[in-house]
Structure 1
Amino acid sequence: MMNRRRLTQTLFALPFGAALPGLGRAQGMPDFGVLKAGYAQRLKKILAAGELPYVDMESSCNPTRVDIDFVAKNLDRLNIGLMALSADIGEGQFKRGVRYDGLSEKLVAAYPDRFIPIGNGGQPPALTEAPAEFMDAQEAAAVKRQIMCLGEFEFHHYPSGRQVKRGEGDERHVNVPIDGPTGHRVFSLSEKTGMAFQIHYEIEDALLAPLEQMLAQYPKAKVVWCHLAQVRYSERATRYNAAYVDGLIRRFHNLHFDTAFGDSASVYRPSNQRHARIWGSDGGLAGEWRDLLAAHPKRFLSALDLGGDRMDRIGEYDQRHRYFLKLLPAEIQHQVAYRNAWSLLFGEEFA
């Protein structure tokens, strides 16, 4: 019997979709190769109809409340190709001892050509109150091939404007050192398995050096930094601009960014600042950010950032994301929409 370390190291040395000795695939989960074929067929069908599919790499939900059929019907209605819909373990589940929620199994069982099996969201209370147990559960899911990628880990997270309005500001202000024990474990797991993971990491001068150090220490970790150019307090982020991101991209070859951000009028209530800095004064892309996307088109991913309190707004979020995509040259639209996600998931170009 292999120990856990050996199992994890062996995981992605096997052909894609193969079962590990003595384990097999998790009950109810299709072979990854079967999922991949279904994904390709769906993307090509939407393309053949003259529409642009995209892969939403970053959305999450309350797994006890999500209406799976509602989400799937809207994916079809809006010609969204695929969605990585992550389960967030809430307070109630956490108190019952849940450290891994198997929502992905339900999603894939019901709609195997629409949903990407993804790990749980790394957020309070699981990541802050029981980080070792939470990571044990995510690693076990990776070893059993229940997931293709890890979820979004909230290392530094300010409350959203909606949460502040509801009086939830204090409990949603998260600060987990990215270079602490949990950060090292996440980066290491990504290196060992080849699975990508996402980070919510507020853009602030004081936080940049620790992230750069982790990227340098784990060069094979596949990191998706969520919310390109989302700066909630400009006075705390004097170094961050398109030139800085360009430098990161050139130094760290496995660093990607998702493109889930507010529109040009979106204001972050606590700072009263327009926090989506990618927009110009005319409502189009600011020149430096447009040039960055053109220079590195393979490093950016589509994302909606739907959450448990806004799943019913999928149409609105889709419209906003498609407006952004239409501002890109045609070839780059396809690269950002689905090709880059495909490469990140499967290690090959979409054909």
Structure 2
Amino acid sequence: MMMIRRRVIQAMLGLPLGVALPGLGRAEGIPDFGVLKAAYAQRLKKILAAGELPYVDIESSCNPGKLDIDFVAKNMDRLNIGLMALSADIGQGEFKKGVRFNPLSEKLVAAYPDRFIPVGNGGQPPALTEAPTEFMDGQEAAIAKRQIMCLGEYEFRHYPSPRQVKHGAGDDRDVSVPIDGPVGHRVFALSEKTGVAFQIHYEIEDGLLAPLEAMLAQYPKARVVWCHLAQVRYIERATRYNAAYVDGLIRRFPNLHFDTAFGDSASVYPLSNQRHARVWGGDGGLLREWRDLIAAHPRRFLSALDLGGDRMDRMVSYDQKHRYFLQQLPEDVRHLVAYRNAWSLLFGEEFA
């Protein structure tokens, strides 16, 4: 596998086999980030040269024991998805065996070093709720060893997903971890210290906004991606949240970003029976206030699919929905949201 990976990367970069590649001298692990960056850039440029729009899926997750890596990679090619930050969720089975960090990214990068972004594990039960110190120790060690470029999605407040409700497993994801509690302080401080971005799943409710704002103010250099822009499960619990409120957050907190993984205009949250993607109008198009917000702050929004362990077979439909959203944006903004902003977040530089 080591020799295959070396040859794949060298072929992509147009290097002869005798050229040494930094970070590939050890038997396992993640290649040097500079090597990965070059491979990523080549892939994105190839898709652009073909007249297609690549995007970076900054937020998806999976059950690592059930993942078909080749299936995902082939669909990425077929759909012109540029890069994917696919994090491993530590399930009950792994957790009971003592797993606190799953090195899925090593397997992904070894198999396809031009498309998978090494990312930390999903911050969700049981690891984050039953063994938060050990879980965070694993993520922090991975950053120190340069095994990951970003942290995964931390579920501070998470209602059951529509599919979990449908399958009767709703209680498994009704998660409430105070964002201003010990776990929140640790992950915000870690991001501020290292410059590594992290994602939060944080349901939009009036009572939850002040603690988040306080944390953003206390850790101004923490690089936060608030997942699922304008995804409101219960509108009666979110009377303050609108495009103007988000505009205010963006102006106050320069390191706050939002991903754009949300349902289509017909998506209904079953527990409230409400259409919970609040960006859409009655005609199925992007509401003007949200389009204007993104156009006014085009650097602060990121493409995402939010594929999960129970949704990996739905890549085509998720891609279609996300591309419909991107088409609603002005062309220059579209390219920023699709891949340029993620590139800046990961590498601290403009994509060129």
Structure 2 counterpart SS, 1:171: helix
What is the aligned partner in structure 1 of residue 12 from structure 2? none
- Larger mean CA deviation between 114-123 and 168-177 belongs to 168-177
1: CA distance between counterparts of 2:246 and 2:67?
35
Map residues 152-167 of structure 1 onto 2, 5 A cutoff: 152-167=153-168
> Deviation per CA, 1:37-86, whole angstroms, max 9, x where unpaired?
00000000000000000000000000011000000000000000000000
Instruction: Tell me if the contact between 2:22 and 2:31 (Cα under 8 Å) persists in the aligned partners.
Output: no
Report if the CA contact (8 A) 1:285-1:327 is conserved.
Answer: yes
Offset of residue 28 of structure 1: 2.9
Give the 3-state SS of the residue equivalent to 2:170 in structure 1.
Answer: coil
Residue 334 of structure 1 aligns with which residue?
A: 335
Task: Using the TM superposition, give the Cα deviation of residue 168 of structure 1 relative to its aligned residue in structure 2, in angstroms.
Answer: 1.1
Residues in 2 aligned to 1:274 and 1:234: alpha-carbon distance in whole angstroms? 9
Do the aligned residues in 2 keep the contact of 1:199 with 1:226 (CA within 8 Å)? yes
Structure 2 partner of 1:133: 134
1:169 to partner: Cα distance: 1.2
1:1-351 alignment runs, 5 A limit:
27-351=28-352
Shift of 1:192: 0.9
Aligned Cα root-mean-square deviation (Å): 1.3
Q: Is the 8 A contact 2:259 2:304 kept in 1?
A: yes
Structure 1 counterpart SS, 2:172: coil
Q: 1:26 to 1:266 in 2, by over 3 A?
A: farther
CA contact (8 A) 2:62 2:87 kept: yes
Q: Deviations over 1:72-106 (max 9, x none)?
A: 00000000000000000000000000000000000
Cα distance in 2 for residues equivalent to 1:116 and 1:267: 31
Amino acid at match of 1:65: K
Contact 1:26 1:146 in 2 (8 A): no
1: CA distance between counterparts of 2:172 and 2:306? Answer: 20
Deviation of the 1:26 alpha carbon: 8.8
Gaps of 5+ in 1: 1-16
Q: How many residues align?
A: 331
> How far off its partner does 1:25 sit?
7.9
- Name the amino acid aligned to 1:135: M
Cα offset, 1:205, TM superposition: 0.2
Tell me: CA distance 1:67–1:327, structure 2 relative to 1, closer, same or farther (3 Å).
same
Deviation at residue 282 of structure 1 after TM alignment? 1.0
TM-score, with structure 2 as normaliser = 0.92
Distance (whole Å) between structure 2 residues aligned to residue 243 and residue 329 of structure 1: 20
Question: Which residue number in structure 1 is paired with residue 15 of structure 2?
Answer: none
Structure 2 segments unaligned to the other structure (5+ residues): 1-20
Cα distance change of structure 1 residues 221 and 295 upon mapping to structure 2, 3 Å threshold: same
Contact kept in structure 1, 2:22 and 2:35, CA below 8 Å? no
Letter in 2 for 1:213: A
Give yes or no for contact 1:117–1:148 (8 Å, CA) kept in 2: yes
Query: Matched residues in 2 for 1:34 and 1:200: separation?
Result: 31
Counterpart-to-counterpart distance in 2, 1:112 and 1:346 = 16
Supply the distance in 1 between the matched residues of 2:41 and 2:266 (Cα, whole angstroms): 36
Letter in 2 for 1:32: F
Cα distance change, pair 144–26 in 1 and its aligned pair in 2 (3 A): farther
